[in-house]
Structure 1
Amino acid sequence: MQLLKKIGLLLFPVLLVMCKPGDKNRDSISIENHKVLAATPPMGWNSFDAYDCRIDEETYRHTVDFMSENLLEYGWNYAVIDYIWWHPAPGNWDTPRRKGHPNIRYKADGEPLFPEYTYIDEFGRLIPSPERFPSSVDGAGFKALGEYVHSKGLKFGIHIMRGIHRAAWYYDLPIKGTSYTARDIAEPNDTCGWCNHMYGVDYSKPGAQEYYNSLFELYASWGVDFVKADDTMYPPYHEKEIEMIRKAIDNCGRPIVLSLSCGEAPLGMADHLKSNANMWRISGDFWDTWPQLLHNFDLMNQWSSHNGPGHWADADMLPFGKISLDDRPHGPERESRFTWPEHYSLMTLWCIGKSPLMIGSDLLSISDKTLSFFQNSEVLYVNQFSASNRQVYKTNNEAVWVAEDPSNGDKFLALFNLSDKRRDITYDLELTKWRARYQVRDLWEKKDMGIVEGRINSTVDPHGAVLFKLVPK
Structure 2
Amino acid sequence: MKYIKRIVLALIFGISAFSQVQDKNKSVESKSEVAKNKSNLAVTPPMGWNSFDAYDCRINEKEFKATVDYMAENLLQYGWNYAVIDYIWWNPEPGNWNTPKRKGHPDIQFNADGSLKFPKDVTMDQYGRLLPSVERFPSAANGKGFKPIADYVHGKGMKFGIHIMRGIHRAAAFNGTPIMGSKATAKDIAEPFDTCNWCNNMFGVDASKAGAQEYYNSIFNLYAQWGVDFIKADDTMFPPYHKEEIEMMHKAIAQCGRPMVLSLSCGEAPVSRASHLIENANMWRISGDFWDNWESLEHNFDLLNAWSPFIGEGHWPDGDMLPIGRLSLDDRPHGKERMSNFTVPEHYTLMSLWSMAKSPLIMGGDLLTTAESTMKFLKNSEILYVNQHSTDNRQVIKNDGQAVWIATDPKNGDRFIALFNLSEKEKEVKFTLENEGIRGDYSVRDLWEKKDIGIINTQIRAKIDSHGAKVFRLTKVVK
Q: For the superposition of Structure 1 and Structure 2, which TM-score range results when normalised by the shorter chain?
A: over 0.9
- TM, length-normalised to structure 1: 0.95
Partner of 2:324: 320
Structure 2 segments unaligned to the other structure (5+ residues): 21-36
The one of 181, 187, 192 aligned to 1:177:
181
Q: Unmatched 5+ residue regions in structure 1?
A: 6-12
**Contact 2:321–2:363 (8 Å) recurs in 1:** yes
Does residue 150 (structure 1) correspond to residue 138 (structure 2)? The answer is no
Residues 188-245 of structure 1, C-alpha deviations (whole Å, 9 max, x = no match): 1111000000000000000000000001000000000000000000000000000000
Report the 3-state secondary structure (helix = DSSP H, G, I; strand = E; otherwise coil) of the residue aligned with 1:293.
helix
SS in structure 2 of the partner of residue 191 of structure 1: coil
Give the aligned partner of residue 276 of structure 1: 280
Q: Is the 8 A contact 1:281 1:315 kept in 2?
A: yes
| Amino acid in structure 1 at the alignment position of 2:155 | S
User: Structure 1 residues 110 and 407 mapped into 2: Cα distance closer, same or farther (>3 Å)?
Assistant: closer
Cα distance change, pair 58–332 in 1 and its aligned pair in 2 (3 A): same
**TM superposition shift of 1:35:** 6.4
CA-based RMSD of the aligned residues comes to 1.3
2:15/2:256 contact within 8 Å kept: no
Secondary structure in structure 2 of the residue aligned to 1:235: coil
User: Is 1:389–2:373 an aligned residue pair?
Assistant: no
Structure 1 residues 459 and 333: CA distance shift in structure 2, 3 A: same
**In structure 1, distance between residues paired with 2:113 and 2:67:** 43
The CA deviation string for residues 37-77 of structure 1, in whole angstroms up to 9 with x for no partner, is 10110000000000010110000000001101111110100
2:369 and 2:143 map into 1 onto residues whose CA distance is 32
For residue 311 of structure 1, what is the aligned residue in structure 2? 315
Does the Cα contact within 8 Å between 1:438 and 1:453 map onto a contact in 2? yes
What is the rounded CA distance, in whole Å, between the counterparts of 1:409 and 1:76 in structure 2? Answer: 26
Give every structure 1 segment of 4 or more consecutive aligned residues whose post-TM-superposition deviation is greater than 6 Å: none
Q: Which amino acid aligns with 1:231?
A: D
In 2, the alpha carbon distance for the partners of 1:255 and 1:446 equals 37
What is the aligned partner in structure 2 of residue 29 from structure 1? 17
Match of 2:339 among 335, 339, 351: 335
Shift of 1:108: 6.9
Q: CA, structure 1 residues 409+318, in 2 after alignment: closer, same or farther (shift >3 Å)?
A: same
* 2:239 corresponds to 1:204: no
Q: Residues 15 and 255 of structure 2 are in contact (CA less than 8 Å); yes or no, is this contact kept in structure 1? A: no
Q: Counterparts in 2 of 1:422-461, with a 5 A limit?
A: 422-461=426-465
**Distance apart, 1:175 and its partner CA:** 0.3
Aligned equivalent of 1:15: 5
Question: What residue is the counterpart of 1:8 in the other structure?
Answer: none
Displacement of 1:268:
0.2
Q: Give the Cα–Cα distance (whole angstroms) in 2 for the partners of residues 34 and 287 of structure 1.
A: 31
**1:297-338 deviations in whole A, cap 9, x for unaligned?**
000000001010000000000011100001113100000000
Q: 1:28 to 1:455 in 2, by over 3 A?
A: closer
Q: Which amino acid in structure 2 is aligned with residue 203 of structure 1?
A: A
* TM-score calculated relative to the size of structure 2: 0.94
Paired amino acid for 1:471: T
- Which amino acid in the other structure matches residue 373 of structure 1? F
Contact 1:352 1:403 in 2 (8 A): yes
CA pair 162-173 structure 1, distance change in 2 beyond 3 A: same
Question: AA paired with 1:354?
Answer: K
Is the 8 Å Cα contact of residues 286 and 317 (structure 2) preserved in structure 1? yes
Change (3 A) 1:17 1:64: farther
> Structure 1 residues 108, 95: CA separation in 2 closer, same or farther (over 3 Å shift)?
farther
Pairing of 1:1-400 with structure 2 (within 5 A): 5=2, 13-15=3-5, 17-22=7-12, 24=13, 27-29=15-17, 31-32=19-20, 33-34=37-38, 36-107=40-111, 111-400=115-404
Paired residues of 2:81 and 2:159 also in contact (CA < 8 A):
yes
Q: C-alpha separation between the residues in 2 aligned to 1:110 and 1:16?
A: 26
1:81-125: CA deviation from partner (whole Å, max 9, x where unpaired)? 000000001111012322211001134776422412100000000
Contact 1:418 / 1:464 at 8 angstroms: preserved in 2?
Answer: yes
Query: SS of the residue aligned with 1:234?
Result: coil
Counterparts of 1:28 and 1:424, CA distance in 2? 50
How many residues align structurally? 461
Check conservation: 2:55, 2:333, Cα contact below 8 A: no
Note the C-alpha offset of 1:36: 2.9
